[in-house]
């Protein structure tokens, strides 16, 4: 698995061994970032259930200012640390623009005044029905009234998430049991 675009294009990402994580495919990430291209320059992001950090690191490589990776598993967190260093070095940017927080994604909230522009959510598929609506509801309070964040949520094609205050404005991918990505905006 590699960074597919931007200043760190081609950097190989380390992934925890075993079935601990299910990294987003290169093709899916390319589609996601084609859709987000205009929003990336100088954006701040959070990558929840970060795994290898692929979504956030791809954003960083493509011009995002930086962000936070939230991952509670120590093996995955170790891979993220190594990936952050490799991508920042290749992009000739400071790794200090990237932060790893080892905690549960359901308990993390941004510091006051530091709500992200982009949120990447890629949880284990088996918990999406339980955590998806909870996350969307919790996130509704992160931003000021005039903010226009985008939430990028990877899930199987047969899953439909709905939450008051959020609208799915786009969905990439096909197939009931294949990975898809839903883009949510407030409203």
Taking the C-alpha atoms of residue 167 and residue 137, their distance in angstroms, rounded to an integer, is 12
Taking the C-alpha atoms of residue 126 and residue 104, their distance in angstroms, rounded to an integer, is 16
Read off the pLDDT band of 187 (50, 70, 90).
Answer: confident
Residue 92 token pair: 């000739």
Taking the C-alpha atoms of residue 170 and residue 181, their distance in angstroms, rounded to an integer, is 8
**C-alpha separations of 162 from 110, 132, 136, 165, 187 in Å:** 23, 9, 9, 9, 12
Average the pLDDT over 25-50 and give the result: 91
Model pLDDT for residues 138-162, shown as the tens digit of each residue: 998 899 888 999 999 999 989 999 8
In the CATH scheme, what is the homologous superfamily, with its name and number, of domain 42-186? Vaccinia Virus protein VP39 (3.40.50.150)
Contact criterion met (CB below 8 Å) for 163 and 130: no
Element (H, E) at 139: helix 128-139
Model pLDDT for residues 7-21, shown as the tens digit of each residue: 999 999 999 886 656
- Residue 172 backbone zone (phi > 0: left; psi -120 to 50: alpha; other: beta): beta
Element (H, E) at 135: helix 128-139
**C-alpha separations of 150 from 121, 139, 146 in Å:** 11, 11, 13
Residue 127 token pair: 């918990």
Interhelix angle 74-91/54-61, rounded to 10 degrees, is 10
Number of residues that this document lists for the chain: 187
Model pLDDT for residues 61-80, shown as the tens digit of each residue: 999 999 999 999 999 999 99
What pLDDT, on the 0 to 100 scale, is given for residue 58? 96
**C-alpha separations of 22 from 19, 64, 94 in Å:** 7, 23, 27
């Amino acid at each position: 698995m590699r960074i597919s675009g931007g200043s760190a294009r081609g950097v190989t990402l380390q992934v925890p061994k075993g079935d601990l994580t299910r990294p987003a495919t290169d093709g899916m990430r390319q589609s996601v970032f084609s859709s987000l291209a205009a929003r990336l320059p100088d954006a701040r992001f959070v990558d929840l259930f970060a795994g290898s950090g692929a979504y956030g690191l791809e954003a960083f490589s493509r011009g995002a200012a930086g962000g936070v990776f939230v991952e509670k598993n120590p093996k995955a967190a170790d891979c993220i640390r190594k990936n952050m260093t490799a991508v920042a070095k290749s992009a000739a940017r400071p790794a200090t623009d990237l932060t790893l927080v080892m905690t549960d994604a359901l308990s993390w909230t941004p510091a006051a005044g530091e709500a992200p522009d982009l949120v990447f959510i890629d949880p284990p598929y088996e918990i999406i029905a339980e955590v998806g609506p909870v996350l969307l509801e919790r996130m509704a309070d992160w931003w000021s009234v005039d903010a226009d964040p985008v939430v990028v949520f990877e899930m199987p094609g047969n899953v439909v998430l709905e939450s008051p205050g959020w609208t799915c404005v786009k969905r990439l991918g096909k197939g009931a049991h294949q990975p898809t990505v839903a883009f949510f905006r407030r409203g």
